Structure 1
Amino acid sequence: MRIRTSRTSRQWAEVDGVGEDGEAGGIGAQEAARHLSQAVRSANLVILSGLGTSLCVRRGGDRLAPTMWQLLERVRAEFVRLDAADPLPGGRDRWSAFTASANVDEEEGNLEHILSRAKLSTELVPERVRVLQERLLAVAEEVILDAVDFLAADVSLGTHANFLRRIARRPSRKARVRIFTTNYDRCFEVAAGREGFIVVDGFAFGSEPRFNPDQFNYDVVRRDTEERTDYVENLFHLLKLHGSIDWELDEASGRVVKREGTRKPLLVYPRSTKYEMAFSQPYVDIMAAFQASLRVPATTLVVIGFGFNDKHIAEPVMAAVRSNLSFNLVVVDPVIEARCADGPLFSPYLESFAKLVDDGDGRLALVEGTFEDIVPLIPDIVSQTEVERHYDRMRNITTNAQDRR
């Protein structure tokens, strides 16, 4: 793991032997400790999570969350399976028909580009072609849904749980942590449930939770018999920028509801049209909250596993860097150096951040590492609470009982 800041002489410094006090190791270790300590102690802590935070989820050594390339391969494989079971008239195969209607090469490797062109083509082609293209799009989107619905009871979320313990247990005088994620999966929600954290995700409590953005203005307090109140521990806000596999649009009421196991999830699928789609409900409320969070003074944004390919998300971050002088930014990405230079992974935003760092902007830190790498380095500034100790004891009882069976 390496880090680049204004103090590393325009070089990538190895993060080796870092301790929470920042005294061990060289300049890289000290800079990592300094920026991460500043992040968890900031008045306002915001997290932006991308695909990289889900790639660590494994079962038996096998990674469960798919990459974009793997999603593309699964879509193609499903088309091949359907061709064998129900051939199209004229001997055409589905993938050729799909890419031809979208006017892209059959060997195109960018799933976002293919789906975007395919969606656009449904509005331009004749009725006969449009019907087929819509069916193929529905198949592709069904594959994406099944691929990201990978959590089960036996799947460990230790890295997510450790992350929440380190960033979400803040003193009550500080603002609650806000985690914004582009992921459709439920890793953070499930990890929070297993660890006894309370998640404020914008859905009102009830037998069928409905989305209400006012929920993000509420908090949870504890009242004792003497009518004194205090804020409950272990609570964070979770805002899903591109929807979730358990969200659904209720056609009767026009409201967004949470329904586990729905086959009609409200998602912004990986298409280049995400910019336009992200400004319909409920995304407009969540995007507004994201932009507002970055404008608050004394805010630190920690970006993990997000490649800055979505312009509607990257632009507010760049605007905060430009205009909010008390805004701090830590970007964690395993290939961040490649994203800062010309090549297939290049990001103009990360190149700009790197130039600011090299010009002496001390508010920014670029870290080359994974979600798994960075979590152990985040200082745990709050000791374990009695509630957390209780959950640990109960978990041990359950584990021991299962081992005896």
Structure 2
Amino acid sequence: MTTISFLSTFVKRKNGLKKPVPIDLDSDNLSENDDYLTLLNYINNTLDFDNLVVLAGSGTSLTFSGIAPSMDELWNRCRDDDSDLFNAVLDTVQYDRKQLNRDENGQTSNDIELLLSLCDQYLALDNLGIDESKKLSCFLERSKKIILTATNFTDRIKPADWKYHDKFIRSVGRRSTKQQRLKLFTTNYDLAFEHSAANTGFVVVDGFEFSSPSYFNPSWFRYDIVDRSDNSKNSSSYISNVLQLYKMHGSVNWTRDNGRVKKLDYKANIENPVFIYPSCTKYQTSYDSPYLDMMSAFLHSLQQPKTALICLGFGFNDKHINNAVTMALRTNPEFNLLIATKEPFDTRGSFNPDIRDLLHAAILEGDRRIAIIDGEFSTFSDLLQERRKETPEEKIFKTFETLAANVAGNSKDENAF
């Protein structure tokens, strides 16, 4: 059974209690469920905002179950790479004493972000012995490479498994010429959205020049793509399938080359990667270029009139992003926020408790700009309705998707015999 919970000022609540309302998506009379219809209407109204911004966290990639790594899996990979070094690092940074989250048996949880943060802090204090400093530095470098390799997984995804990302891009990416292009911000390093855009015939403007080699140039976010062919009715007709992609923490295919950021093939061996690995220092690191350019664009986007921000698979555990969102709620009366992520109401979950309390209190006070959905990215994608007429390119890509899925299914059936 697929069930989601929806919290906003618009859904009905018994006895006046403003708690999340559960909705059974497998119900036979779903089309008669007022809360479900309210949810769909809210989502559709959000997509119609003039300035639509999406913030995608790690939960969107975890849709690729068994391929995209969770934070717990990253811990295991860093540990298994060199268990002796790993245990030595745990002792040096006193991980057991610094870890506050413990299970019912008093055991510490596996928090790779905390561990890497402690390594940064101990190295910054510069009061360790030479051998201990070397071990921490070595562990950090090896861990960064492990994380980068683990998140470079898109070539292992089967064609049929792209359905949620592809539907999301098709449903949200196409915009009226009177509306601004979709701005898709993501903290993920992987290439899932780039690959999905290719699957669905979208052109991605990601701040890199259309050249080879391709270097990062933030001015490219100000450019657009138009149809200037003879058959075009207007001298400058905007093509429909364009979106802007901002990778706020870097990418698996970015490297530094003579002071510039260069985009390489995702299979290339990258010696000097450009990405912010999970640690508390990502707040400071995010104010270096190219992250500064991405963050500046995010701040600017949230302050625009008639702006809607959809946060997907994001737990609000990035301080610099949290500050931007809460500031927009305080200062922009035309800013709306829709959150869809796993277990945002669970006090034992990974969703930031301070942000949860703040948003819940605002909803209780009647703030109609905020809505929260407890659901995974795949569930949210299923809720989206493809409301606009398909382009010929999209019809072709859909046909290819169906054929690929049929071929994969036939191959599986043949192997069964």
After TM superposition, the score normalised by the length of structure 1 is 0.88
1:223 paired with 2:228, answer: yes
Instruction: Select which of 300, 312, 337 maps to 1:329.
Output: 337
Cα displacement (A) at 1:141: 1.6
Which secondary structure does the structure 2 equivalent of 1:152 belong to? helix
Cα displacement (A) at 1:343: 7.3
Alignment size in residue pairs: 383
Instruction: Select which of 175, 180, 189 maps to 1:175.
Output: 180
Cα displacement (A) at 1:397: 6.2
2:63 corresponds in structure 1 to 56
Cα displacement (A) at 1:269: 0.2
2:86 corresponds in structure 1 to 95
Q: For 2:49 and 2:144, how far apart are their aligned partners in 1?
A: 40
2:122 corresponds in structure 1 to 121
1:86 corresponds in structure 2 to none
Alignment of 1:226-375 (within 5 A): 228-250=235-257, 252=258, 254-260=259-265, 261-263=268-270, 264-338=272-346, 341=347, 345-375=351-381
Instruction: Select which of 146, 157, 167 maps to 1:143.
Output: 146
The answer to whether the 8 Å contact 1:307/1:333 transfers is: yes
The answer to whether the 8 Å contact 1:18/1:377 transfers is: no
The answer to whether the 8 Å contact 2:315/2:352 transfers is: no
Which secondary structure does the structure 2 equivalent of 1:94 belong to? helix
2:392 corresponds in structure 1 to 386
Cα displacement (A) at 1:25: 3.6
Cα displacement (A) at 1:376: 1.7
Letter in 2 for 1:115: L
Alpha-carbon distance change, 32 to 310 in structure 1, aligned in 2, over 3 angstroms: same
1:44 paired with 2:51, answer: yes
The answer to whether the 8 Å contact 1:223/1:229 transfers is: yes
After TM superposition, the score normalised by the length of structure 2 is 0.86
Cα displacement (A) at 1:7: 2.7
Which secondary structure does the structure 2 equivalent of 1:206 belong to? coil
Cα displacement (A) at 1:330: 0.4
RMSD: 2.4
Stretches of structure 1 lacking an aligned partner (at least 5 in a row) = 81-92
The answer to whether the 8 Å contact 1:202/1:216 transfers is: yes
Letter in 1 for 2:393: V
Cα displacement (A) at 1:229: 2.4
Which secondary structure does the structure 2 equivalent of 1:15 belong to? strand
Q: For 1:7 and 1:310, how far apart are their aligned partners in 2?
A: 29
Q: Percent identity?
A: 30
The answer to whether the 8 Å contact 2:114/2:280 transfers is: yes
Alpha-carbon distance change, 14 to 115 in structure 1, aligned in 2, over 3 angstroms: same
The answer to whether the 8 Å contact 2:182/2:244 transfers is: yes
Of stretches 114-123 and 34-43 in structure 1, the one that deviates more from structure 2 is 114-123
Q: For 1:205 and 1:113, how far apart are their aligned partners in 2?
A: 38
1:206 paired with 2:206, answer: no
The answer to whether the 8 Å contact 1:16/1:26 transfers is: no
Q: For 2:350 and 2:212, how far apart are their aligned partners in 1?
A: 47
Q: For 1:330 and 1:136, how far apart are their aligned partners in 2?
A: 38
Cα displacement (A) at 1:342: 7.5
